[in-house]
Amino acid sequence: MQSTNPATGTPYLDHELHSEAEVRRRLTLATGAQKDWSQTSFSHRAGILNSIADALEASVDDHAPAMTREMGKPIAESEGELRKCAWVCRYYAEHAGTFLAPEAAPADVESTDTFVRFDPLGVVLAVMPWNFPWWQVFRFGAPALMAGNAMLMKHAPNTQDQAARIERLCLAAGLPEGLLQMLVTDNDGTGQVLADPAVAAVTLTGSDRAGRAVASLAGQHLKKAVLELGGSDPFIVLDDADVEAAVREGVRSRCLNNGQSCIAAKRFLVQDGVYDEFVERIVATMGTMAMGDPTDRGIELGPLAREDLRDELQRQVHASAFAGARIRCGGMTAERPGWFFPATVLTDLTVDMPVWREETFGPVAAVHRIGSVEEAVGLANDSRYGLGASLFTADLERARDVAAQLEVGAVFVNRMTASDPRVPFGGVKESGYGRELGSFGIREFVNVKTVWIA
């Protein structure tokens, strides 16, 4: 596997695949380490998670430039990602004991003592994506470790340097050897690891194609799986919305991480009364975004992470324009080294165009005029995805009603969709199943065990 700087297209680091013997050694190490770890107290685990958080905060200036170099996100966003990882470690260090405390059975159960306890499942395989190469690992890893599990991290081929850095940082911060290990392996090797009896469960963040493959293998071997997959999130702006705020949040959501986020605003549904103003404002904002070297703090957009991702985005935009969409700004691959694509706005859409029907993984906003709230809900739900949604309106009672009708895992009113350690995160339909974060996320990889004492 190879690390390549997407801002220049230049490879700079090779990573050798682990041999079968090395994978086996790491599996064995994880199994032994997890058994010992499962016997430790929550306070002991919390102390180590807090040490990892300290290490993350202390090493931002070291790891953030490496993240930007390997996958292209603006440097300030890389720094923010590392600090968010520290936050999720501290959050679960503080709350895991409460989330996983034994629960008493109902009072009418006739026994001396009946309760439910939450025991770790064991070794969990984590198949991780490149777009948030640290946050996705810690979003799963912090609660999984606090629950008493071990983690085998199969990271994306183009972010292997980040995986190695995560492993080294956790070891140096005091996490016992074997509890968080990277596996440098291909898809076939990943399947073999998942099939191994030493692995109890799997989590994956990635495309729906990868999710189908992992879910199929997990099903064959009767193993628990949590899948966080793609999204084509609707961003609804009603007539009574604060248009300036909606544009500000919409642009931020669509262009964060250079537009490469599963929960980014992708399909903008804007009601008649504010449509023209919204389009004018979003075109003016996205049309003037500074694009260039992501290590430059004045830059708002860096490159896409890989050449094939840029080419696919270009295909979606061109095919939609050929079908009649109007490109209001951007729309063409940048004529420069690296895999850059400018912030793009399209209007005059039909719902069968690629930028509307498919997930767009880059800074492309598809804006569609709607006449009513009912139309907005119908179009929002007319998608194979169901990850998140944003809704902008001054009528909060109506917002609650609309939120209940949207077929997604999260609805954010008057702000962009985001993941937060304090609330559950995940989707429905082809955006996956299971939840991460909050009290629900930490209970995904535990054995909910009834103990009945007569």
d(CA 121, CA 241): 46
Q: Residues 85, 170, 262, 329: which is the catalytic one? A: 262
d(CA 100, CA 213): 31
170 is catalytic: no
- The one-letter code for the residue type at 244 is E
The phi and psi torsions of 116 (rounded to 5 degrees) equal -115, 130
DSSP collapsed to 3 states, 45-109: HHHHHHHHHHHHHHCHHHHHHHHHHHHCCCHHHHHHHHHHHHHHHHHHHHHHHHHCCCEECCCCC
Pairing of strands 180-182, 199-205: unpaired
Q: Residues 167, 228, 300, 444: which is the catalytic one? A: 228
Contact between residue 165 and residue 63 where contact means Cβ atoms under 8 Å apart = yes
d(CA 162, CA 238): 41
Q: How many residues does the chain have?
A: 454
DSSP annotation of 222 reads T
Q: How far is CA 119 from CA 27, 265, 448, in A?
A: 20, 38, 7
Instruction: Return left, alpha or beta for 148; rule: phi > 0 is left, psi -120 to 50 is alpha, else beta.
Output: left
The phi and psi torsions of 342 (rounded to 5 degrees) equal -75, 160
Query: What are the percentages of helix, strand and coil residues in the chain, rounded to 5?
Result: 45, 20, 35
**Residue 243 C-alpha from the chain's centroid:** 27
262 is catalytic: yes
- The one-letter code for the residue type at 235 is F
d(CA 156, CA 128): 6
**What angle (nearest 5°) sits at the alpha carbon of residue 228, between those of residues 129 and 230?**
80
Torsional sign, CA 262, 264, 267, 271? positive
Q: What positions carry a catalytic annotation?
A: 228, 262
